[in-house]
Amino acid sequence: MARPDELTFAPLGGVGEIGMNLSIYGLGNQHQRAWLAIDLGVSFGDEEHLPGIDLIMPDIGFLEKERKNLVGLVLTHAHEDHFGAIIDLWPKLKCPIYATKFSAALFEAKCEAEPGAPKIPVTVVPSGGRVDIGPFNVEFIPVAHSIPESHALAIHTEIGTVLHTGDWKIDPTPVIGVPTDERRLRELGDAGLLALIGDSTNAVRDGRSPSEAEVAKTIAELVKAARGRVAVTTFASNVARLRAVAEAAKLADREVVVVGRAMERVVQVARETGYLNGVQNFRGADLYGHFPPDKVLALCTGSQGEPRAALARIANDDHPLVTLRDMIAWTRPQLLIPVHGEALHLNEHARLARSVGVPKVLICRNGDLVRLGPGEPGIIDKLPSGRLYKDGTILEDAKSRAVVERRRMGFAGCVFVAIAMTEKGELAEDPEVDLVGIPEKNMAGEELDDIVFDTVVSTVENLPRARRRDADAIAESVRRAVRGTLNEHWGKKPLCLVHVLEV
């Protein structure tokens, strides 16, 4: 018999790692649940461990299978680690998307800039507004963050209300937008909050971040004191920072020149959505050289490009020194689940929550299905989860061979051997040997390709005659011998591909 309805939560990305956020909430019983997804972000590959991988995304295989029960995807804000995977993954889900105006406009601009991006409709919800999505009623509560229109989501259901914090900081004087809506968060606490699913990237620190107003004052002083050309690198999506820089340029009597496509895009969206109202017009990058050095200020995203740079910042110092303590004190949840961050963050967050008297703290991993209520919360199931790699234009399972082989080739190169055998099992001619990414000579000054060539010939000739008629046996013996020889002369075993032809 089916159990009565319960409210569940599962992170499918972003827990125990930085980036690629994806959470789902389920309402129903073990036989059927309606699912609501929150955020769909990316992380970035690093060249050393994942050569050639641009983006890493959560594996959405589970949601694909549950597609007919997926009622919608809600975006907390428009940082890459929260919305960067939508263009690639939405075609597999085709669910309705909900976001506020700025996030929706930035997403649309991103789609337009991406060749071949599908048409993806987004339903705009006002900041502070509520929307019914299947059996969930979702409320967008403004929180201060380094991008306009960042939200915590209050997810109201018949079982109770859950607060999904997203990324946030407590900034009483944001330059743009409204401060974190403390009043509304307290009201949720008064009404009784079933669970707080919280951003824990800040839990390892104490105190509050410098406010945007303080940052703006410092920028203005620095620009005013500068003599020659001034270039300011910042994250394009930090519109509050753009505004502060524009203000500083005006005070110093300098023109602002916008450099880089990511920066141009955000400036355009911010103007359209009113976040740069009252700010002077900026100039195109082509005009940079036309102004005297002390009359211009270049605004750029830095050399690594916006998404990667933005994520580095998210991982490092962007997340301000908040007191999470505040969020917990306002909302007084029955249950706290720290998410979004690595193990250290999660544990620190859990420790903090226990110390301020949250009745129950639960640490979970990607794929854990957690019952939030009714009754005793706990992990009740394990859902499939994992990672996808964006490799060029192809989305690949993270377990695929391609990256492993590339890493091996990067470390130890590759040897190609071609061998032609007669019907009788004799070498028809000299084998072909090619070494790629391998030093020319060993420490004794001997040519490595000569050594490999000799190894190939002697290995073939020393095989018993019967084995010399078996192409697979020849290839395997040669492969082992070549790797062994190179290990002896070089200390590394490269990838080795052997082709045997009968002529």
Residues that bind Zn ion (CB under 5 A): 79, 167
Strands 136-143 and 150-156 come out as: antiparallel
Residue 79 vs 265, nearer CB to Zn ion = 79
By the 8 A CB rule, do 235 and 306 touch?
Answer: yes
By the 8 A CB rule, do 55 and 84 touch?
Answer: yes
280 C-beta neighbours (distance < 10 Å), count: 12
In sequence order, what are the beta bridge partners of 25?
Answer: 9, 36
By the 8 A CB rule, do 112 and 84 touch?
Answer: no
The Cα 422–Cα 268 span in angstroms is 69
Here the tokens at position 143 are 């929180």
CB of 127 to Zn ion, least distance (A): 16
Residue 168 vs 282, nearer CB to Zn ion = 168
Residue 79 vs 387, nearer CB to Zn ion = 79
CB of 213 to Zn ion, least distance (A): 20
CB of 314 to Zn ion, least distance (A): 6
Here the tokens at position 206 are 């104490």
CB of 86 to Zn ion, least distance (A): 15
Reported for 128-131, long-range contacts at CB under 8 A and 24+ positions apart, including other chains, are 128/181, 128/184, 130/156, 131/98
Residue 77 vs 156, nearer CB to Zn ion = 77
181: nearest Cα among 194, 195, 163: 163
Strand order from edge to edge, sheet including 136-143: 130-133, 136-143, 150-156, 161-164, 193-199, 333-339, 360-361
Query: What residues contact residue 305 under an 8 Å CB cut-off, 6+ apart?
Result: 262
197 C-beta neighbours (distance < 10 Å), count: 29
CA dihedral over 106, 37, 161, 11, signed as positive or negative: negative
Residue 42 vs 460, nearer CB to Zn ion = 42
Q: Go through 164-180 and write b for each residue having 16 or more CB atoms within 10 A of its CB, e for each that does not.
A: bbbbbbbbeebbbbeeb
CB of 321 to Zn ion, least distance (A): 16
Residue 165 vs 331, nearer CB to Zn ion = 165
Q: How far is CA 54 from CA 48, 391, 395, 403, 407, in A?
A: 12, 6, 11, 12, 14
Residue 33 vs 79, nearer CB to Zn ion = 79
DSSP annotation of 86 reads: H
CB of 166 to Zn ion, least distance (A): 7
The Cα 95–Cα 480 span in angstroms is 51
Residue 79 vs 479, nearer CB to Zn ion = 79
In sequence order, what are the beta bridge partners of 499?
Answer: 418
CB of 194 to Zn ion, least distance (A): 25
Residue 139 vs 167, nearer CB to Zn ion = 167
341: nearest Cα among 67, 57, 11, 5: 11
Strands 230-233 and 432-436 come out as: unpaired
Residue 301 vs 485, nearer CB to Zn ion = 301
CB of 20 to Zn ion, least distance (A): 13
CB of 82 to Zn ion, least distance (A): 6
CB of 32 to Zn ion, least distance (A): 33
- 3-state DSSP call for residue 115? coil
CB of 318 to Zn ion, least distance (A): 7
Residue 79 vs 164, nearer CB to Zn ion = 79
CB of 167 to Zn ion, least distance (A): 3
Name the maximum alpha-carbon separation found in the chain: 89
Residue 262 vs 361, nearer CB to Zn ion = 262
